[in-house]
Structure 1
Amino acid sequence: MSDLPRLSSSRVPTPFIAFAVLAILSLALAGCDGQAQEEAKPERPVLTIKVHYAPQTPDRSFVGTIRPRIETDVGFRVPGKVAKRLVEVGQVVDVGQPLALLDDADLKLQAEQADAELRAANGVLAQAQAAENRAAELRRKGWSTDAQMDQAKAAAAEARGRVIRAERSVELTKNNLSYATLRADARGVVMATAAEPGQVVASGQGVVRIARVAEKEAVVAVPETLVARAQGGEAHVSLWSEPGKTYAAKLREFAPVADAATRTYLAKFSIPAADDAVKLGMTATLTLAEPASERVARVPLSAVFNQGHGPSVFVADAATGKVELRPVTVKSYETRDAVIADGVKDGENIVALGVHKLDTAQKVRVVSSLSF
């Protein structure tokens, strides 16, 4: 080894030294650039899902029809010939508004006859009372017998009874005359007419059908499997014309027997707060919910993150780009979803995909937010 020639530093070529220095500087700069790129790591795009809590037992909806609670066929209380009909189908009527008129010529004659009977009865009563007074005076003086006195009293009593009967007859004929005008007894809508001018109708025969608008209800057909929910659940009604507005409903009537053809039960739900927008005959959707059903949120299985410390989800803040790993209580796992009882708030955004590649120190960029 000692025989080998030694190279002194003075013999190393200068270009070789310069090349070595440049190579070292290049490697150092490359390492700094890599570290800077690591520090300036770009935001990770993520897909988020908006959490929505709903009853664990899903609501059930039925198509129904808006109907009036009370629909009545009104008619004259006395027989006669219809002289005029004053309303048409679809017209809104108020309390006391005339609907139809009868020919009242015969009724007026009966009223005049009753008045004449009353005047005659009053004349007979005056004569009987005078006879009774004379009989009483003669009896005090001893010029009359008890039988004559009793006869005078009986005649006076009969005359008074006749007057009472005549007075009642006058009242009845006046009432009958007023019944010649058919009036609405409640505010409502004319649904149908069953008589025309010139037609002779009997007492009580339906002439106009009135649907009262004071209270409306939704009529639906409930299947056998949901009878218990219909009788004890919470009900809401929405109209097809205004799907965003709902009305509270209450079960008023439930059929005791199922329909033989459809095997469904007819149910009537009253709508106490129905306004003018709820019109008769409209199509409505009745929604039945369990009164004590627990509220849960369903999220995709891909959103649940678990590294041995329990299930968690990443809650993303779109404004700041930060993510937070938050533990949740999973009530059950389904085919595609996880049912969460608590841990996240309603309306928060959670990362739906790629949660195993996220880090709480990393910023994210929300590219899409969907409701689930």
Structure 2
Amino acid sequence: MNYESATFENDGRLALPGSGAPRSNLIWWIVGAVVVLLLAVAAWFAFGFGKKPEEKHVEQLPNVTVMIPGTTLVPRVLSATGSLAARREMPVGVAGEGGMVTRVLVEPGQWVGAGQVLATVDRSVQTQTAASLAAQISVARSDAAIAQSELNRAQQLVNRGFISKADLERKAATRDAALARVRVAQATLSEQNARTGRLDIRAPAAGLVLTRSVEPGQIVSSGSGVLFRMAKGGEMEMLAALSETDLAGLGVGVRAKVTPVGGKESFAGEVWQVSPIIDPQTRQGTARIALTYNPALRPGGFAAAEITSGAATSPQLPESAVLSDDRGNFVYVIGQDDKVVRRDVKVGAVSDSGVAVASGLAGTERVVVSAGAFLNPGQKVTPIVAKSAAKTGS
């Protein structure tokens, strides 16, 4: 350094060569540098630190209410459909030779007693025939009376020796023949009266008249077919069609509830006969449910039945939990990874308490209670467990 060229300021500080620039310029340089630095920091925060290299979208999983149904004792209820009929239907036709119907004395829906006349047939010819036969009886009796008198006189004369014993025997035979003719005439008249009586169309037993197919003036005979149909004692039944699997566990005396189509009232009955055969075409059999008479039970009508046959332990779900498609009934269960899994089930009895699951569930699964139609198999959800109304069986 050339110390000879250095000079000192008035305050004693060293004055460097070229330092004669004003102090104000140095201050402005410092301020500018600070401003630039602040702008650089602001830009780094705005475009560097504030922006993540790869911003990830957080997926919002749907909340799904599930329940663990457990198992409960559910009555085994078989649902069936079928037709109503008279338990013992009695077709009534012409028992005799027939003729022209003169009167019809009953209407459908009317109760009748055993042997009551339902309709009468003209009997004018039969009446005359019976009168003729009655006259023949009178003639035969007269002949028998004369023969008896002659026999009595012959018995008195044979002791005196006026007639022989052979003549007496002939007169006894004549008397016996006359009495036989009387009996024949009486039997013929009885037969004719029976034939005449069969012209009346009568009820074979007490019951309810279901149909009437005859009117006054109609000519009827033994080939005319059924003129009346009756229900013996008014007893009714339902012919319930059931699969062979359901029939296997069904016995006589099981209670049932029958509801005719179009009506809201149900009628109590019981199974009184189970079909011993299965239709090879439909693979179904018939359970006959006995019912007491009621005007709402009309033979030939259609009805639905619920047959209570024992009880079974099975899971029970709300109706909203059970879905169906072309593959059948199913539910959605939530697996260990909280993913939706389809589970095919077989539905049992349906009651006010819910739907019993006959097979497909153990009762320990987390089953989607509702909104299953909006879920897809494999979808991940957030399960929320609801309290089950069913009691776990032992």
Instruction: Give the TM-score taking structure 2 as reference length.
Output: 0.56
Alignment of 1:269-284 (within 5 A): 269-271=289-291, 273-284=292-303
- The 1:220–1:85 alpha-carbon spacing in structure 2 relative to 1, beyond 3 Å, is farther
**Residue 264 of structure 1 aligns with which residue?**
284
CA distance in 2, matches of 1:208, 1:244: 29
CA distance in 2, matches of 1:105, 1:62: 55
Matched, 1:208 2:228: yes
Aligned partners of 1:55 and 1:122: how far apart in 2? 85
Aligned to 1:94: 112
Contact 1:233–1:288 (Cα < 8 Å) also in 2 = no
Structure 2 distance, partners of 1:205, 1:167, is 33
Following the alignment from structure 1 to structure 2, what is the Cα–Cα distance between the partners of residues 170 and 228?
A: 59
Task: Write the deviation string for residues 224-281 of structure 1: whole angstroms up to 9, x where unpaired.
Answer: 2122223357231322355554413122352x4332432222332222x444443333
Q: Is the 8 A contact 1:54 1:295 kept in 2?
A: yes
Q: Displacement of 1:108 after TM fit?
A: 0.9
The AA in structure 2 aligned to 1:81 is G
Aligned Cα RMSD in Å? 3.8
Deviations 1:191-233 (A, max 9, x none): 2416773424237853333333531111122212122223357
**Which residue is equivalent to 1:333?**
363
Native 8 Å contact 2:252 2:274 kept in 1: no
CA distance in 2, matches of 1:280, 1:333: 44
Q: Structure 1 residues 200, 58: closer, same or farther in 2, change over 3 A?
A: closer
TM superposition shift of 1:129: 1.1
Q: Contact 2:94/2:220 (CA < 8 Å) preserved in 1?
A: no
Match of 2:164 among 145, 148, 163: 145
The Cα shift of 1:286 comes to 2.5
Q: 1:93 to 1:221 in 2, by over 3 A?
A: same
Q: Percent identity?
A: 21
SS in 2 for 1:77: coil
- Matches for 1:268-347 after TM superposition, within 5 Å: 268-271=288-291, 273-291=292-310, 293=311, 298=316, 333=363, 335=365
Q: Secondary structure of the equivalent of 1:59?
A: strand
SS at match of 1:217: strand
- Cα displacement string for residues 321-347 of structure 1 (whole angstroms, at most 9, x for unaligned residues): xxxxxxxxxxx625457xxxxxxxxxx
Q: Distance in 2 between matches of 1:262 and 1:142?
A: 94
> Higher mean Cα deviation, 139-148 or 80-89?
80-89
Which residue in 2 is equivalent to 1:127? 146
Change (3 A) 1:121 1:221: same
CA distance in 1, matches of 2:253, 2:194: 50
> Does residue 197 of structure 1 match 2:208?
no
Change over 3 Å in CA distance of 1:176–1:73 after alignment to 2: same
The correspondence for 1:173, drawn from 192, 198, 203, is: 192
Residue 87 of structure 2 aligns to which amino acid in structure 1?
R
Change (3 A) 1:140 1:163: same
Distance 1:189 1:154 in 2: 56
Asked if structure 2 preserves the Cα contact closer than 8 Å seen for 1:233 and 1:289, the reply is: no
- Closer, same or farther in 2 for the Cα pair 1:200/1:90, shift >3 Å? closer
Structure 2 distance, partners of 1:113, 1:275, is 51
Preserved CA contact (<8 Å) 1:237 1:246? yes
Runs of at least 5 residues in structure 1 that lack an aligned partner in the other structure: 1-46, 302-331, 338-351, 356-368
Count of equivalent residues = 263
Structure 1 range deviating more: 107-116 or 212-221:
212-221
Distance 1:354 1:91, change over 3 A: closer
Residues 1:223 and 1:284: Cα distance change in structure 2 (over 3 Å):
same
Correspondence 1:217 to 2:237:
yes
Q: Which amino acid in the other structure matches residue 196 of structure 2? A: L
> Compared with structure 1, are the counterparts of its residues 150 and 267 closer, same or farther at alpha carbon in structure 2 (3 Å cutoff)?
farther
Structure 1 residues 98, 120: closer, same or farther in 2, change over 3 A?
same
The answer for the alignment partner of 2:254 in structure 1 is 234
Task: Work out the CA distance in 1 between the residues paired with 2:216 and 2:299.
Answer: 25
Alpha-carbon distance in structure 2 between the residues aligned to 1:282 and 1:203? 29
Which stretches in structure 2 are left out of the alignment for 5+ residues? 1-64, 322-361, 368-383
